[in-house]
Structure 1
Amino acid sequence: MPRLTSSPPHIRFFFPFFSYIPCVVFLCFLSHAAESQIQDQELQVLSKLRQSWQAPSSLDHWVASDSSSHCAWPEIKCQEGSITELNLVDLNINYSIPPFICDLKNLTKLDLSYNNIPGEFPTVLYNCSKLVYLDLSQNYFKGPIPPDIDCMANLQVLILAANSFSFDVPASVARLRRLRILHLYMSEYNGTYPEEIFGLSDLEELRLEYNKKFVPSQLTQNFTVLKKLRLFSMAQTNLYGGIPKTVSDMEALEHLNLGINPLTGEIPGSIFALRNLSDLYVYETNVSESIPQAVSAANLRVIDLSLNNLMGNIPEVFGQLKNLYCLNLEFNQLSGGIPEGIASLPALSDIRLSNNNLSGTIPPDFGKFSPLRRFEVAFNNLTGALPKQLCHGGTLFGLATMDNNLSAELPESLGNCSTLLEVMLNNNGFTGNVPGGLWMSQNLTALLLSGNGLTGELPKELSPNLTRIDLSNNKFFGKIPSTLSSWRNLVEFDASNNLLSGTVPAELTVLPSLTMLLLGQNKLSGNLPTDIISWKSLTTLNLSHNKISGPIPSKIGLLPVLTLLDLSDNQLSGLIPPEFGQLNLNGLNLSSNRLRGPIPAKLENAAYDTSFLNNPGLCASNPFMRINVCNAQSHRSSKTNLTLIVILAIAAAICVLLVVLFKSKASRKNRDRFDSTPKLTSFQSLNFTESNILSGLKEHNVIGSGGSGKVYRIMVNPSGEAVAVKRISNNQKLDEELEKQFVSEVEILGNIKHRHIVKLLCSISCENSKLLVYEYMENSSLDQWLHKKKRSSPIPGVTNNMILDWPKRLQIAIGAAKGLCYMHNDLRPPIIHRDVKSSNILLDSEFNAKIADFGLARMLAKPGEAVTMSAVAGSHGYLAPEYARMARANEKIDVYSFGVVLLELTTGREATDGEEGMGLADWTFNHIQRGKPISDVIDEEIKGSSYLDEIIKVFELGISCTATQPSDRPTMKEVERVLSKRGHSQENIRWVLPST
């Protein structure tokens, strides 16, 4: 029998492995088959989704392909071949969420933000059992959050912000125990929120801000559980009372925003000070000062407590917040000094302490240890010097210290700060010279140094971007340099009340952009330059209280937009040029000179009765002017004149008596019309009373009317000062919409101070009427100047055949753009106007544009975030397509409306007058698309000017602003920058024409 031998070792080793190969292959086959089946099912779901949403173009690539899996599509993420995330952001989805979306069995994240999805909260998502992350923000959901939302027990992220959810935030939200992020900001909640939210121990972000309809409440006293919370924001949520000390229990807090609330009391220093003291045992009494820093709130980066009613001192412990980046305490009632430690914080970049009652000196180390970008301490009672190293980090762009009691010389380091955009140091006590480099800071646009004791000579060169310089009320001396012809972009130049000498140089007259030149109260002498034809944009010229001699140049009378002229208290001689009769002046003063001869006949009216005093050689044919009567010998004898004077005096007395009786009767009538105790709320210093306003609400004072009521022009004092009064009224009690418009206008304009936004002086509330009292705008609204058929409306001092030339139109466009830019970029929160149009752009006596009518304005949470409206409101022809279609509003709807205004300025047409049944925006765009010349649509009144290239570029900018897609439109900041540079270089306009 043969002997059996064992297999070789290597055979024995591999035999088991080979025996498993069929099993492995079989299992791989099954796994692949299962994965393929899952992918087929998911593809079917995606296909149904696309069909259900009627295939938005952004999902055209959702088509099955042999070359790639749907897991490679940009909106989708997969794990192990199955969909776990759908990121469908800003895809213009207009339809509700279908229930079969939960057939994606492994879906853990669903982001549908920035779409147009309507309806109530989608409870169909309850079937997405693995959902952990849900973002439905920036849509059109409305109604209540369902009380059974806690069915979605696995949720860790719930973002429902910027919708129209209303009623209460239900207590069931607080039963989602795994939540890490909860965003409910900017909706229409008109009830309460559950305090149990503050018991969610895993929360890292809690945002409830900009829900101003919340029932007024106090901050909870218990934050003990929120050990992980990094971001906490309840700005503008009707919080009242004090800030509880227990806020310090949020140990991980990085961002705290409680701004725009009526919070009162002091800022408790313990909020941000010591923690975990139970773990700290100190044996000695002389504890080192370094110990508190070691246990301080080291995580805080942003503190915003602005626009409250907080009092007391800024806590010293703020100086221990080593990671603090932004400290905003502006618009409170804080007092005391600025803690020294704050200046040494290594991360501090943005500090805003304006509009408080702070005193003492500014700590000198600001800027030394951190790269400051924004330093604002205006409108306080601060003393001492400005810190020397504010721009040490080379990033400072905003510096505002106006209206304090600061002194000493300006730091030389400011002359090396090339990043500065605006420097506002006015109304202090600074002395010495201005640092030489500051004049030439390459990005500087505004330099306000008025109301100080600064000295030195004016520079020979300026930054090319400077448009506004205010040096008034200082001690600058020497001649105005002849090299100032290089100051090409200067728009406003105020050097009044200084010690300037020499002549007014001829080179000053070649600045094409100059709108305001104020050189009064200096020591200027010699003759005025005669060739001033470049001053086509000049609206204000004040050379008073100097020693200027010689004749008045006749070409001043040819300046097309001059509205205010003051040459008083000089040594001017000769005749008043007859060309002055062509001016349309709101203010004229030629008094106290050596002028002679008759005044131009068109200036013989009561508006100028004090304009020619103390010129013995002047005369007028009108005996009621306060100067000599021309050819007096031909008049009646002095006896006859005396008789006439007596008769006139008696007649005047009778008129005064009748006026008094009439006013008394009207006052009683007005009191009958208003409830007995009308409430006046002032926002500015007033030189009139409510009775002045109420007695002026007469039909002959009406200057306009709109959907909400009439507008009156009312004289409030004997000197002729007028105000504009908008009366929002109804036969019955004010309806809800009118009440909303009144409240919106008061809330917004009451807190805004900007030279290109109309100033709200006060409001008066009565039972069936609401009165808004504004500064009076002498030149009415832009539409009355642009559109021929509206020119029959009376504008004081304006004839129907007057036109608005291009420099003035451009000035108006720039001013309006600056106002909107301020609303969008500089206010916190930003504001969208929602009704920008030419009739809401008002013009003062100098044709400065001011944005008006804020009844429809809304606040945003932050730039770029949309506000969901319950209804579309605005004006036909100006509505952005996405707003008109879906009631969705952010800053880009204002950009669209402003683009229409630019088209009005360049074409002269109205917003609805585009021919072929189209609005102006669509019609002009079609005109360009058809290849027709732009010059064909330019307004004939400006078409023949030398500015045609510039007009065309502004027209193109208007086309860009009215692009159909919001993302294709520039921002207002970009628009303002392009307009301010006048489009001289094609590089300045990035958005010439939208793509077809």
Structure 2
Amino acid sequence: MDLSGNFFSGNLPVGVGNLVRLEELRVANNSLHGVVPGEIAKCSLLQVVDLEGNRFSGQVPAFLGQLRRLKIVSLGRNMFSGSIPLSFGNLSQLETLNLSENDVRGNLPEEIMRLSNLTTLNLSYNKFAGVVPHNVGDLMNLLVLNLSACGFSGKIPGSIGSLMKLTTLDLSKQNLSGELPIELFGLPSLQVVGLEENKLSGDVPEGFSSLVSLQYLNLSNNAFSGEIPATYGFLRSLVVLSLSRNGVSGMIPVEMGNCSDLEVLELRSNHLRGVIPVDISRLSHMKKLDLGVNELSGEITEEISSCSSLTSLLLDVNHLSGHIPDSLSKLSNLTTLNLSTNRLRGAIPANLSHISSLKYLNLSRNNLEGEIPKTLGSRFNDPLVFSMNRELCGRPLDRECANVRKMKRKKLIILICVAVAGVCLLALCCCGYIYSLLRWRKKLRGANGEKKPSPARGSGSGTDRGRGSGENGGPKLVMFNNKITYAETLEATRQFDEENVLSRGRYGLVFKGSFQDGMVLSIRRLPDGSINEGNFRKEAESLGKVKHRNLTVLCGYYAGPPDVRLLVYDYMPNGNLGTLLQEASHQDGHVLNWPMRHLIALGIARGLSFLHSLDMVHSDLKPQNVLFDADFEAHLSEFGLD
């Protein structure tokens, strides 16, 4: 019986107890009140009791502990009081227990920790006492643990590291203290971690960088210190990172630009210094960037406009200088822009008014000057938005721009002078032309005999067109994006010199090509006579359309006599997996830690999955055919050449 989401009021009828074969009772999100009738205990087959989102009161119903088949008990968002009944320990089949947003008090019964089938435990927003139970790790099947705003204190128990299936952990808004247990960083399925508004301390935990599935990490309003670990750049799945209101120092790691799915980065009210990393511009999914109340310096870079999804940009209370970039107008989704209390100078870009979605703007307490753009001043007519800028004038400040008026008058005078000078110069040129014309006519009249015909111009020019370097006709180096020639390729590889060989494979040699403009490419030369020109061109054109972040991208090809077949790829500067494994085995060079190995394996798997979706088989998968770009992301090579 599901009566959820209606406007029912009054008490829950005692007649519900007559439905002895009832298995599910759902009356969530109504306006029911009073106590829950004990007659429900007669429904011995009940598996689901969902009373969430009503106004039930009284003690938490202890009689529910008699219904041994219960799997879901949801009593959240009501007005229950008292403590959790000990009888709930009899519900051995219980999978979900939700008592959130009530007035439940006392200690958490030990009996709850024996419910081995429990997958969701939500006790948030109640008034428990004591510490988080030390044996919470006994709930081995737990997926969601939400104890936020429960009033717990003390340290987070290390037994939490036994919850290997846990995906969501929320211990926020309490009085928890001390450092995080190292066992927490060994939970492989963890996706959401909420620890904000506690008294946790120690360095910003580097251990979170090993949780490659992590999507949400909120450590704000604590006492963490130290620097942001550069290894957080391994968290490619991270969507939200909040470290606001701690004691974090140092610089923002440039490696954060590797978190390609990051949408929210909150680092407000810390002791960060240095400049805003340009690499942040790579975060194309970024929606909120909050770096306010720190010690950042330098200028706001033009590259930040590459974050096209940005909706909130908060850089207030820093030491930023320079001009406000015109390119901020490219942030078409921006709703909040706060650049107050910095050292910004120059004029306010008029094209900020082109951001139609902008709802909040604060440019106060800077060194801005000139006239406020009229369109912007009319949209944000509160003087506080532009206050404490001494050289700023115009509405809504009601400060006349005298210097602007003088500058316009000066420009007008200069324009008139330039126009007069131009007219005089034109008149002088006309007089000179007329004078030379008159002299030529006079000289022509005094001449005896006829003029010799002047030789025809451009004779034979049509016969020279289309000749030269043989660009029309003959084999060409076909490039999909860049424009280079076969001759430049020969020069870049030094006539395919042995010293430029990068690798040797079943499909020929791969050469490093260093071009004069600084571009570096990989040139694969297939064995002579291995494939005829027609088939080669078809396969090359087909391979040029195969694009994936974990595959080497074909940039172009060449097919020409005598049986020369070339394939041009992006250059991978960090070698291949075989070399990396060999270096790691000798403890020399790069050290392959487990998060890095995991990311490499994921990249290989994604590349293979994409090939299989195109009905392509790699047929030669080995470490030497796994190449790394500048960010050490894996790319499969030697595919599609059979």
Q: Same fold (TM over 0.5)?
A: yes
Q: 1:272 Cα deviation (Å)?
A: 1.9
Q: Counterparts of 1:925-936 in structure 2 under 5 Å?
A: none
Q: 1:467 to 1:225 in 2, by over 3 A?
A: closer
Alignment check: 8 A CA contact 1:383 1:404 kept: yes
1:344 to 234, 239, 251: 234
Q: Counterparts of 1:465-484 in structure 2 under 5 Å?
A: 465-476=357-368, 479-480=370-371, 484=374
Q: Counterparts of 1:36-55 in structure 2 under 5 Å?
A: none
Alignment check: 8 A CA contact 2:11 2:35 kept: no
Distance in 1 between residues matched to 2:349 and 2:121, nearest whole Å: 53
The one-letter code matched in structure 1 to 2:146 is S
Match of 1:244 in 2: 157
Match of 1:137 in 2: 52
Match of 1:323 in 2: 213
Cα displacement string for residues 715-770 of structure 1 (whole angstroms, at most 9, x for unaligned residues): xxxxxxxxxxxxxxxxxxxxxxxxxxxxxxxxxxxxxxxxxxxxxxxxxxxxxxxx
1:267 to 176, 180, 196: 180
**Identity rate, percent:** 31
Q: 1:389 Cα deviation (Å)?
A: 4.1
2:255 to 350, 355, 365: 365
Alignment check: 8 A CA contact 2:282 2:306 kept: no
1:162 is paired with a residue whose SS is coil
Matched, 1:123 2:38: yes
Q: Counterparts of 1:270-281 in structure 2 under 5 Å?
A: 270-273=183-186
The one-letter code matched in structure 1 to 2:229 is P
The one-letter code matched in structure 2 to 1:480 is E
The one-letter code matched in structure 1 to 2:183 is S
Q: 1:254 Cα deviation (Å)?
A: 1.0
The one-letter code matched in structure 2 to 1:328 is N
Cα displacement string for residues 599-623 of structure 1 (whole angstroms, at most 9, x for unaligned residues): xxxxxxxxxxxxxxxxxxxxxxxxx
The one-letter code matched in structure 2 to 1:166 is S
Q: 1:438 Cα deviation (Å)?
A: 1.1
Match of 2:171 in 1: 258
Q: 1:112 to 1:404 in 2, by over 3 A?
A: same
Q: 1:217 Cα deviation (Å)?
A: 0.8
Q: Counterparts of 1:673-684 in structure 2 under 5 Å?
A: none
Match of 2:199 in 1: 309
Alignment check: 8 A CA contact 1:319 1:340 kept: no
2:144 to 224, 231, 240: 231
Alignment check: 8 A CA contact 1:308 1:331 kept: yes
Alignment check: 8 A CA contact 1:497 1:519 kept: no
Matched, 1:93 2:8: yes
The one-letter code matched in structure 2 to 1:204 is T
TM-score by length of 1: 0.38
Distance in 2 between residues matched to 1:162 and 1:499, nearest whole Å: 52
Distance in 1 between residues matched to 2:98 and 2:184, nearest whole Å: 24
Matched, 1:166 2:57: no
Cα displacement string for residues 291-342 of structure 1 (whole angstroms, at most 9, x for unaligned residues): xxxxxx2211111111111111121111111121111111111111112222
Q: Counterparts of 1:773-812 in structure 2 under 5 Å?
A: none
Distance in 2 between residues matched to 1:263 and 1:340, nearest whole Å: 26
Matched, 1:355 2:270: no
Q: 1:105 to 1:459 in 2, by over 3 A?
A: same
Distance in 1 between residues matched to 2:140 and 2:131, nearest whole Å: 21
Distance in 1 between residues matched to 2:378 and 2:198, nearest whole Å: 43
Distance in 2 between residues matched to 1:464 and 1:473, nearest whole Å: 24
Q: Counterparts of 1:744-783 in structure 2 under 5 Å?
A: none
Alignment check: 8 A CA contact 1:269 1:315 kept: no
2:178 is paired with a residue whose SS is coil
Alignment check: 8 A CA contact 1:313 1:336 kept: yes
Matched, 1:156 2:48: no
Match of 1:188 in 2: 103
Q: 1:236 Cα deviation (Å)?
A: 1.2
Distance in 2 between residues matched to 1:301 and 1:474, nearest whole Å: 41
Q: Counterparts of 1:455-466 in structure 2 under 5 Å?
A: 455-462=345-352, 463-466=355-358
Alignment check: 8 A CA contact 2:10 2:33 kept: yes
Alignment check: 8 A CA contact 2:66 2:87 kept: no
Alignment check: 8 A CA contact 1:468 1:491 kept: no
Cα displacement string for residues 225-272 of structure 1 (whole angstroms, at most 9, x for unaligned residues): 212111111111111111111111111111111111111111223322
Alignment check: 8 A CA contact 2:38 2:63 kept: no
The one-letter code matched in structure 1 to 2:163 is M
2:331 to 428, 441, 447: 441
Match of 1:177 in 2: 92
Distance in 1 between residues matched to 2:336 and 2:365, nearest whole Å: 17
The one-letter code matched in structure 1 to 2:192 is V
Match of 1:400 in 2: 290
1:219 to 105, 108, 132: 132
Distance in 2 between residues matched to 1:231 and 1:369, nearest whole Å: 25
Q: 1:201 Cα deviation (Å)?
A: 0.9
Distance in 2 between residues matched to 1:162 and 1:469, nearest whole Å: 37
The one-letter code matched in structure 1 to 2:142 is L
Alignment check: 8 A CA contact 1:371 1:392 kept: no
1:224 is paired with a residue whose SS is helix
Distance in 1 between residues matched to 2:38 and 2:244, nearest whole Å: 47
Distance in 2 between residues matched to 1:203 and 1:524, nearest whole Å: 73
Match of 1:553 in 2: none
Q: 1:171 to 1:486 in 2, by over 3 A?
A: closer
Q: 1:147 to 1:370 in 2, by over 3 A?
A: same
Q: 1:348 to 1:526 in 2, by over 3 A?
A: closer
Match of 1:731 in 2: none
Give the aligned CA root-mean-square deviation in angstroms. 2.7
2:255 is paired with a residue whose SS is coil
Alignment check: 8 A CA contact 1:370 1:393 kept: yes
2:254 is paired with a residue whose SS is coil
The one-letter code matched in structure 2 to 1:466 is L
Distance in 2 between residues matched to 1:110 and 1:393, nearest whole Å: 46
Alignment check: 8 A CA contact 1:136 1:160 kept: yes
Distance in 2 between residues matched to 1:87 and 1:491, nearest whole Å: 52
Matched, 1:374 2:289: no
The one-letter code matched in structure 2 to 1:353 is L
Distance in 2 between residues matched to 1:469 and 1:92, nearest whole Å: 41
Task: List runs of 5+ in structure 2 lacking aligned partners.
Answer: 407-642
Alignment check: 8 A CA contact 1:307 1:331 kept: yes
Distance in 1 between residues matched to 2:59 and 2:360, nearest whole Å: 51
Q: 1:457 Cα deviation (Å)?
A: 3.5
Distance in 1 between residues matched to 2:388 and 2:60, nearest whole Å: 63
Alignment check: 8 A CA contact 1:422 1:444 kept: yes
Q: Counterparts of 1:298-697 in structure 2 under 5 Å?
A: 298-390=188-280, 392-462=282-352, 463-476=355-368, 479-480=370-371, 484-485=374-375, 487-492=377-382, 494-495=385-386, 500=391, 504=393, 508-509=394-395, 514=396, 517=397, 525=403
Q: 1:467 to 1:139 in 2, by over 3 A?
A: closer
Distance in 1 between residues matched to 2:327 and 2:180, nearest whole Å: 40
Cα displacement string for residues 558-577 of structure 1 (whole angstroms, at most 9, x for unaligned residues): xxxxxxxxxxxxxxxxxxxx
Distance in 2 between residues matched to 1:126 and 1:472, nearest whole Å: 64
Alignment check: 8 A CA contact 2:244 2:269 kept: yes
Q: 1:158 to 1:367 in 2, by over 3 A?
A: farther
Q: 1:448 to 1:175 in 2, by over 3 A?
A: same
Q: 1:174 to 1:261 in 2, by over 3 A?
A: same
